[in-house]
């Protein structure tokens, strides 16, 4: 054997390779694959499992309870570290592998890196069909892992050891590429994982993946500057790309210099501090009145690192100025061209810096600034009203829970949420301090994200208070990783809001003629509907049984004490609170398109359809650049 090779199994080679990969941006170097989550079965125990024990000194291993949750944890970790570090997730074949699909979709939609390593059937087909193998009668090379293809940014099945070499390199390239990143899948046939090969030594050499900051094209920059200079009512929409690029300072400098106001998407909130004079808070269906009013009258919308989801555009109804134009600064041409925009395809920070420089001396009208500052003051009163609790001994409403939390958190705290009625309340109300504070997964809005994501964030930011805000529905979807937090001694904090079902979808259902059908957690009544008494289910006891310290709060006052105690706790701690369903959050300022039954016998759906058609009529198509 030549001195320049090392004989290892494919799984051992992969682990060694992954342990030697780094990213670098702005002079800072990090492990690209900081650790590996894993649940073992016959599809990975003898291959990757053996490799992870063999190389435990260079590759940290984390034990999860559910494969989807392990991806959520990895996503939380990657987002907290601005995509400069990811984690791998290894699973068995079959159900372990397909449990990855939801997490993979979430990662890819949110443009966050995660490396998926599902086991796969024997490349040799020697013992087909294996336990858990899907036998496709026509396409013999199909396995359940093919379900990961449409939700992966790169996919390969490693059917021979040496095929790992080019594929592992491509996988790292995609994970570290700001324009391409997302879930990356290397499916690993069980027999190949355990097979030995003489690997070239240089495969295991340290490798640094430079995370580029592409500058804008000069022609595009000139056009962008001209568009901004000629706009009378420009509005910036800050998306998640601002955070990924760590462009918050550059955005602030642009807003300071030009007076252009900044509204933010769920992913972009916190791009400016809430008390910055140009910060308008959230935009779109769950936006603030000031953001949405400005959006309706903006003549130039400047999207920075945003995908323009339907929540942001109010399903195509938000931007109503007859001559509105769009200028989109984005790392991908795909997102930059949306709404027929002028494009500025570049890194957010570099692009914003160059824009600010090229706009030197330009400032929006003083009257425009005065207009949005007055709107911002009105918005502050809306927040105060929603947060205020006059009766300390009353059961809190959900917005009062947020008010109490708002008073307790510091600038460094991270607040995580993904689904239910909380995302809307948070987008409208939360006063984001630090750029990492507002952690909303609203690309996939996946119930069950919060608890595992809190673990990933806590791993990435030891010592930082990390809060998972969780509805009762979300809790029941995926409480499993509480056990992982307990095992790893991660002092994550969970605020568990009990309102006996899906308040969010219940409200939506009512507004679209669905009569809240199937959205409350209640006993089945004599007529067959779920309208009986609330269920005698004790989620606080459930959290305690999984190892959390639990604080039950029945009143606003008790909640204040419980949250303060949880904030300094050094163990995983749950604050359990039942909320007053009568509490009203501020209403939606803009529409969201959820199509209503065109024919129905029930009056609720008929009137909902009339309202729906009036809204649809307001939709615009933006085709002029
Ligand atoms: C995995 C998943 N399934 C279904 C949905 C659709 N959905 C969105 S919010 C919601 C209800 C959430 O209930 P809960 O966590 O109790 O929050 P609440 O609505 O009561 O505030 C559902 C079913 C989803 N977002 N994710
Ligand atoms: Mg609920």
User: pLDDT of 567-619, one tens digit each?
Assistant: 999 999 999 999 998 877 899 999 999 999 999 999 999 999 999 999 999 99
- Reading across the β-sheet that carries 154-157, which strands appear in turn? 61-63, 33-38, 86-91, 114-120, 183-189, 154-157
Three-class secondary structure of residue 80 per DSSP: helix
- The average confidence (pLDDT) of the chain is 97
Which residue lies with its CA nearest to atom 9 of ligand 1?
420
Residue 591 burial (CB count, 10 A): 22
| Cα 235 to Cα 224: distance, rounded to the nearest angstrom | 14
- Quick check: 1 pLDDT over 70? no
Percentage of the chain lying above the pLDDT 70 cut: 100
Task: Please choose from 266, 401, 419 the residue to mutate so as to test ligand 1's pocket, defined by most ligand atoms within 8 A of CB.
Answer: 419
Give the DSSP per-residue string, 343-402.
EEES-HHHHHHHHHHHTTT----HHHHHHHHHHHHHHHHHHHHHH--S-TTSPPPHHHHH
* Contact indicator for 137, 130 with CB cutoff of 8 Å: no
Digit-coded pLDDT (tens) for 430-467:
999 999 999 999 999 999 999 999 999 999 999 999 99
Element (H, E) at 578: strand 573-578
Taking only Cα atoms into account, the Rg of the chain, rounded to an integer number of angstroms, comes to: 25
Contacts of 193 (CB under 8 A, 6+ apart): 9, 10, 11, 44, 46, 47, 48, 51, 119
Pocket residue to mutate for ligand 1, from 473, 511, 522, most atoms within 8 A of Cβ: 473
Kindly state the tokens that stand for 539.
Answer: 């989620």
pLDDT at 2: 54
Contact 83, 244 (CB under 8 A): yes
In eight-state DSSP terms, residue 128 is P
Q: What is the pLDDT of residue 624?
A: 87
Whether the bond between 129 and the residue before it is cis, its omega within 30 degrees of 0, is yes
| Residue 448 CA, closest ligand 1 atom number | 1
- In this predicted structure, the answer to whether residue 273 has a pLDDT above a threshold of 60 is yes
Q: What is the pLDDT of residue 584?
A: 74
Residue among 420, 421, 422, 517 whose CB has most ligand 1 atoms within 8 A, to mutate? 420
Residue-wise pLDDT tens digits, 12-26:
999 999 999 999 999
544 alpha carbon to ligand 2 midpoint, in Å? Answer: 19
User: 506 C-alpha vs ligand 1 centroid, how far in Å?
Assistant: 10
Task: Enumerate residues lining ligand 1, CB below 6 A.
Answer: 419-422, 445-448, 471-474, 477, 499, 502-505
pLDDT single digits (tens) 72-112: 999 999 999 999 999 999 999 999 999 999 999 999 999 99
Atom of ligand 1 nearest to the CA of 477: 1
421 Cα: distance to centroid of ligand 1 (angstroms): 8
Buried b (16+ CB within 10 A) or exposed e, 555-590: bbbbbbebbeebbebeebbbbbbbbeeebebbebbb
Instruction: Find the 535 Cα to ligand 2 centroid distance in Å.
Output: 13
Ligand with an atom nearest the CA of residue 474:
1
Closest by CA position to 46, among listed 194, 160, 186: 194
Ligand 1 centroid to Cα of residue 513, in Å, is 18
How many Å from the N-terminal Cα to the C-terminal Cα in the chain? Answer: 63
Which numbered ligand comes closest to the C-alpha of 443? Answer: 1
Q: Which of 179, 174, 215 is nearest to 346 (CA)?
A: 215
Q: Please tell me the predicted confidence (pLDDT) of residue 583.
A: 77
Say if residues 264 and 281 touch (Cβ distance below 8 Å).
yes
pTM as predicted: 0.98
- Rounded to the nearest angstrom, the distance between the alpha carbon of 473 and the centre of ligand 1 is 6
Of 182, 154, 148, 198, give the one whose Cα is nearest residue 78. Answer: 182
- Give the C-alpha separation, 263 to 302, whole Å: 10
pLDDT of 414 > 80? The answer is: yes
CA 65 to centroid of ligand 2, rounded, Å: 23
């Amino acid at each position: 054997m030549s001195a320049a090779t090392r004989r290892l199994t494919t799984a051992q080679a992969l682990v060694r390779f992954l342990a030697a990969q780094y990213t670098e941006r702005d002079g800072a170097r990090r492990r690209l694959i900081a650790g590996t989550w894993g649940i073992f079965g016959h599809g990975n125990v003898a291959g990757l499992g053996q490799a992870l024990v063999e190389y435990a000194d260079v590759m940290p291993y984390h034990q999860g309870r559910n494969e989807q949750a392990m991806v959520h944890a990895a996503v939380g970790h990657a987002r907290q570290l601005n995509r400069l570090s990811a984690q791998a997730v290894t699973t068995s074949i079959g159900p372990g592998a397909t449990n990855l699909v939801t997490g993979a979709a979430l990662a890819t939609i949110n443009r966050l890196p995660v490396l998926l390593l599902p086991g796969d059937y024997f490349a040799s087909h020697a013992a087909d069909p294996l336990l858990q193998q899907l036998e496709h009668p026509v396409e013999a090379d199909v396995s359940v892992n093919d379900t990961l293809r449409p939700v992966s940014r790169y996919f390969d099945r490693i059917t021979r050891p040496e095929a790992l070499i080019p594929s592992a390199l491509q996988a790292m390239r995609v994970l570290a590429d700001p324009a391409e990143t997302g879930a990356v899948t290397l499916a690993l046939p069980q027999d190949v994982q355990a097979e030995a090969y003489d690997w070239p030594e240089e495969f295991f050499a340290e490798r640094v993946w430079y995370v580029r900051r592409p500058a804008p094209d000069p022609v595009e920059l000139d056009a962008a500057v001209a568009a901004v200079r000629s706009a009378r009512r420009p509005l910036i929409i800050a998306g998640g790309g601002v955070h990924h690029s760590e462009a918050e300072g550059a955005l602030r400098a642009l807003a300071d210099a030009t007076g252009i106001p900044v509204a933010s998407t769920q992913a972009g909130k916190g791009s400016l501090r809430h008390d910055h004079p140009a910060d308008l808070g959230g935009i779109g269906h769950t936006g603030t009145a000031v953001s949405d009013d400005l959006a309706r009258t903006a003549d130039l919308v400047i999207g920075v690192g945003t995908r323009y989801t339907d929540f942001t555009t109010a399903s195509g109804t938000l931007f109503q100025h007859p001559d509105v134009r769009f200028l989109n600064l984005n790392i991908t041409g795909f997102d930059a061209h949306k709404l027929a925009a002028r494009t500025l395809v570049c890194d957010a920070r570099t692009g914003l810096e160059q824009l600010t420089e090229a706009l030197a001396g330009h400032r929006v009208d003083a009257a425009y600034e005065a207009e949005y500052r007055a709107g911002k003051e009105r918005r502050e009163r809306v927040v105060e009203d929603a947060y205020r609790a006059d009766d300390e001994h009353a059961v809190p409403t959900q917005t009062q829970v947020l008010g109490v939390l708002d008073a307790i958190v510091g600038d460094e705290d991270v607040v995580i949420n993904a689904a239910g009625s909380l995302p809307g309340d948070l987008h409208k109300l939360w006063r984001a301090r630090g750029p990492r504070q507002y952690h909303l997964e609203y690309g996939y809005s996946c119930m069950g994200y919060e608890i595992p994501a809190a673990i990933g964030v806590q791993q990435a930011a030891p010592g930082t208070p990390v809060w998972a805000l969780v509805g009762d529905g979300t809790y029941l979807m995926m409480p499993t990783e509480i056990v992982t937090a307990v095992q790893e001694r991660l002092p994550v904090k969970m605020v568990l809001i009990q309102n006996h079902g899906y308040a969010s979808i219940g409200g939506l259902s009512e507004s679209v003629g669905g009569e809240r059908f199937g959205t409350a957690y209640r006993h089945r009544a004599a007529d067959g509907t779920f309208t009986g008494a609330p269920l005698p289910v004790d989620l606080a006891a459930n959290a305690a049984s999984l190892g959390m310290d639990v604080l039950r709060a029945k009143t606003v006052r008790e909640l204040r004490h419980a949250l303060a105690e949880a904030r300094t706790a050094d163990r995983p701690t749950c604050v359990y609170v039942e909320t007053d369903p009568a509490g009203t959050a501020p209403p939606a300022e803009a529409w969201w398109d959820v199509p209503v039954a065109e024919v129905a016998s029930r009056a609720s759906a008929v009137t909902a359809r009339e309202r729906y058609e009036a809204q649809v009529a307001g939709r615009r198509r933006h085709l002029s650049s």
